[in-house]
Structure 1
Amino acid sequence: MYDEKRAFRYCVISMVIFVVTILIGIEKTEANTELKVGTYHCPPFIFHDKSQEFEGLSMTLWLRISEIMKVDYSIQNYELDDLLLAAEKGDIDVGVSCISITPDREEHVDFSHSFYETHLAITVKNRGYLDSFISIITNKTLWKALGIFFFVAISVGAFYYFLERKNNDKLYSMPTKRGRLAEAFILGVLFITKGPFNYFEFKTLSARIMTVLIAMFSTVFIASITAILASSLTLEQLRFDVKGVNDLSKLQVGAKQATTTSLLLTDHSIAHETYPNMRELLVALDNGDVDAIVADDAVLRYMIKQGKAKEMFADLVVLPYQLEKQNYGLVLVENSEYEEEINRALLQIRETTEWHQILLEYFTEK
C-alpha cells in the first residue's frame, strides 16, 4: 500500500513538472516571437507618412508576411550600410527596403527570395531644339576655337600684307587702306581654310618661301580645330542622346552614394558625383549640376512621378535602356531560423492578385 502511494505521488510530481515545463516553453516561445525589423528609407519601397508610420511596397509585403507567420515585430530605421551591418551582427532579424541581392552582400548576410525585379536606368534632362541651339552657341570650347582660328587668320593675313602690299596690286586692289586691310584678313581666312594660293600669286621671295611653310602648318591647324569643334559639339549632342553606360564617360554623372549604382559606374571607370539621397540627386540633375544620373529604374520613375505632381522635375526623363539588372530581397541574418517560413509566405503573397494590384498602384504612370 505504501509503495502504491509513493508511486502515485511520484506520478503527480512528474506531471506537474511536465506541465510547468510546457508552460515555460510556451511562455519563452511567445516572448521570442517579436522580430526586430530594420528599414532603410527608399521610396516607394520604404518611407514615412505624415504620422511617421512606415509605408511603402516593402513594408506592405512585410505586413502580409508577418500576418501569415503570426509574429509581432518592432521597427528601427537605418542607413543602408548600417542596416547591412546590423543584420551581419544579428542586431536585427529582418531588413526591409529596396536592397539588391549581390554576391558581395551574400558573403555577410542572407537574403530571402526576390520580391521585385528591376534594373538600373539613366535619367537626363530633356531639352528642346532651342535649348540645344543655345547650349551649342554658348559652348566655351566653341568660342575658344573660333577665337584661335581668327587670331591665326589675322596673323597670316597681316604677314602677307606687310610683305606684298607694295608689290602685289592683284591681291590688294582696293583703293583705300581700310579696304586693303579687309583684303588681307580675307586672304588669311582663305589661306587657312582652303590651303595656299598659287605659288606665283606672290611677288616676293619671302612670301613664296613662307607659303610652303604656312601650308604645312595650316593643314595641321585646321585638322586640330576641326577635331576640337567636333568633340565639343558631339559632347553637347550626347547630353540629349545618351543610349548606354559607355556614353556617360564624357558627361558629368551623378549617383546615390554607397549603392550598387556607384559601384557599377566605378567598375566602368566613369567618374561621378555622389549624393546622399534620391531627392538631392534628382534636384542636381534638374538644376543642371550634372548631365545624367543613374539609379534604380523603379525608384527613378516613382520619384519623378511624385515630383511632377508637385510641379517639379517636369523635364526629367528616364531613358528606355536597361543597364544592370537588380533583384530586391529581404535581408536576413545568416542561417536565420525564419528564412524558410519567410520565403514560403513571400512566394504565397507574390502569387496573389492583391500583390499585382499593389505593384500597379506604385509604378503605373498616370
Structure 2
Amino acid sequence: MTMTTPSSQLYYSYLHALLFISAMGVLTLLSSPKIQAEESINDKTLLVGTYSCPPFVMIDKPDDYQGLTFLLWDNIATNLNLKYRVKELPLKELLEAVASGKLDVGLSCISITPEREELLDFSHSFYETNLAIAVKQKSHWETFTGIIFNKKLLQILAIVAIAASTVGGIYYLLEHRVNDKLYSMQSRSARLVEGFILGLLFITKGPFNYYEFKTLTGRVVTVLLAVFTTLFIASITAVLASSFTLGLINNDIKGPNDLDNVLTGAKESSTSSEFLTNHSIIHKTYPTVSDMLSALNNGEVNAIVYDDAILRYQIKKAQSKGVFEQLQVLPYQFEKQNYGIVLGENSPYDEEINRELLQFRKSNQWKKTLIEYFKIK
C-alpha cells in the first residue's frame, strides 16, 4: 500500500493545475480569430466585385478581366494562393456589398476617401491621380467667333478706343492750329479723325518723335505719355495673349470655379460627383465614363469631371479609333485621388494583401505596364 504525504499531494495538485492552464492556453490560441483566419485564408473562395474602368479594369468578354488592377490582384492572389471568383456590380452596389460582407474584396479604380473609410477598409494606395476637366474643342468657326466676341477683348478694345480718343483730343486742342504736318485735312471733321488716328497710333505703337510736335505743352505731354503707353501696351498685350490662348483651348473654363456657369457631367456615386456636390455645383450624372464622354461629344454637357488618368486614357483610346476627336482634357488638376483595393472592416486579408501590393508596386513589371497602358499611339 502506497502512502502519499501532504507534500506529494501538493506537488500533484500543482502539476495538474499547470497542465490545465497550458491546455487552456493552447485552446485559446487555436480558437483565436487570427489563427483561424490564417488557417482558412487559403481554403475559402473569395467573392470579388468589380466594374469596367479602363485601363484599370477591362472586360472585353465574359469572365475575362484585364487591366492594371487585375494585373496587381492576380499577382497578389498567386503569391498568397488565394482562390476567387468575380462578380460585376456598379460602384455604389459594390461598396455596399463589401460593407455588408456579401463581397470579400472590391477591385477597380476606387478612390480612398474618409467617408468610405468609415464603412470599409482599404489596402494601401496602388495608383495616384487627380480630378480633371474634359471639354469639347471648338470648331474653327466657333474659335473665330469666340475670339471676335470675346468679352475681355471687347472690354480691351473699348478701353483702347477711349484712351485713343482722349490722347487724340489733347493733341488736337494743342496742335491742330499750328501743326500742318499732323493735321493736313481741310475740314474740321477730317482733322478730328486725324486726331483720333494719332491717339490710336500713340496708344498702340508708342510715343512719336518728340520733334513732331510744335507746342511746348505737346512735347511735355509726349514725354509723360511715353512712360504710360509703354506700360499700357505691355499690359494689353499680355492680357490679350492670355485671353486668346485660353479661349482657343478651353471654352472659357479655367478650373472648377468656372463649372458653375456651364452644364457639367460626372459619373454617378464617384468622388468627382461628390466633389461637385460639396462645392454646390449642379451636375448631371452618368452610369459609366463612356456615357459621360458621349454626352460631352453630343453637346448634352459642356464639361465633365473625372479622374485625369482615366479621362486621358479613354479619350486617347477613342481618338485612335477615330471617335471623340474634339474632346480634350484641360491642364488643370485638383483633388488628389488614391486608388486602393476595397476590403471589409477587420478583414483577415489586409496585412497579407498590403505586403504583396507594396512589393509588386516596386517591381519592374508594374512600372513597364504603367508605361505601356498610358502611352497610347
| 1:26-62 CA distance string (max 9 Å, x none) | xx84873322211122121112123541111111110
Give, as a single letter, the amino acid of the residue that structure 2 aligns with 1:359.
L
**Distance between the aligned counterparts of 1:30 and 1:272, measured in 2?**
43
Task: Please say if 1:99 is aligned against 2:98.
Answer: no
**Counterpart secondary structure, 2:269:** coil
Give, as a single letter, the amino acid of the residue that structure 2 aligns with 1:40.
Y
Aligned position for 1:195:
none
Cα pair 1:254 1:273 within 8 Å, conserved: yes
**Counterpart secondary structure, 2:74:** helix
Task: Please say if 1:50 is aligned against 2:57.
Answer: no
Task: Please say if 1:248 is aligned against 2:254.
Answer: no
Deviation at 1:307, TM superposition (A): 0.7
Cα pair 2:135 2:330 within 8 Å, conserved: yes
Q: How does 1:153-192 map to 2 (within 5 A)?
A: none
Aligned position for 1:271:
282
Aligned position for 2:92:
81
**Distance between the aligned counterparts of 1:30 and 1:303, measured in 2?**
37
Deviation at 1:119, TM superposition (A): 0.5
Deviation at 1:239, TM superposition (A): 5.5
1:256 to 1:30, Cα distance in 2 relative to 1, 3 A = closer
**Distance between the aligned counterparts of 2:41 and 2:269, measured in 1?**
38
Aligned position for 1:318:
329
| 1:246-272 CA distance string (max 9 Å, x none) | 011111111111111111111111111
**Counterpart secondary structure, 1:317:** strand
CA RMSD of aligned residues (A): 2.7
**Counterpart secondary structure, 2:334:** coil
Aligned position for 2:71:
60
Deviation at 1:137, TM superposition (A): 8.9
| 1:58-81 CA distance string (max 9 Å, x none) | 111100000111111111111111
Aligned position for 1:126:
137
Q: How does 1:1-366 map to 2 (within 5 A)?
A: 29=40, 32-50=43-61, 52-134=63-145, 237=247, 240-366=251-377
**Distance between the aligned counterparts of 1:289 and 1:347, measured in 2?**
42
Give, as a single letter, the amino acid of the residue that structure 2 aligns with 1:245.
P
Cα pair 2:135 2:302 within 8 Å, conserved: yes
**Distance between the aligned counterparts of 1:43 and 1:239, measured in 2?**
25
| 1:128-158 CA distance string (max 9 Å, x none) | 442234568999xxxxxxxxxxxxxxxxxxx
State the identity %.
51
Gap regions ≥5 residues in structure 2? 1-29, 31-35, 151-242
**Counterpart secondary structure, 1:88:** helix
Cα pair 2:42 2:81 within 8 Å, conserved: no
Cα pair 1:83 1:95 within 8 Å, conserved: yes
243-252 or 324-333, which deviates more: 243-252
Deviation at 1:290, TM superposition (A): 1.1
**Distance between the aligned counterparts of 2:360 and 2:133, measured in 1?**
31
1:353 to 1:131, Cα distance in 2 relative to 1, 3 A = same
**Distance between the aligned counterparts of 1:121 and 1:90, measured in 2?**
33
| 1:92-145 CA distance string (max 9 Å, x none) | 211111111001100111000000001100011112442234568999xxxxxx
**Counterpart secondary structure, 1:49:** strand
Deviation at 1:361, TM superposition (A): 1.3
Give, as a single letter, the amino acid of the residue that structure 2 aligns with 1:252.
L
| 1:292-341 CA distance string (max 9 Å, x none) | 11111111011111211221011111111111100000000101111000
1:80 to 1:30, Cα distance in 2 relative to 1, 3 A = closer
**Distance between the aligned counterparts of 2:284 and 2:347, measured in 1?**
37
1:311 to 1:90, Cα distance in 2 relative to 1, 3 A = same
Cα pair 1:239 1:251 within 8 Å, conserved: no
1:136 to 1:338, Cα distance in 2 relative to 1, 3 A = same
Cα pair 1:239 1:291 within 8 Å, conserved: no
Give, as a single letter, the amino acid of the residue that structure 1 aligns with 2:298.
N
TM-score after normalising by structure 1 = 0.63
1:129 to 1:250, Cα distance in 2 relative to 1, 3 A = same
Give, as a single letter, the amino acid of the residue that structure 2 aligns with 1:255.
A
TM-score after normalising by structure 2 = 0.61
Give, as a single letter, the amino acid of the residue that structure 2 aligns with 1:94.
V
**Counterpart secondary structure, 1:324:** strand
**Counterpart secondary structure, 1:118:** strand
1:93 to 1:30, Cα distance in 2 relative to 1, 3 A = closer
1:46 to 1:269, Cα distance in 2 relative to 1, 3 A = same
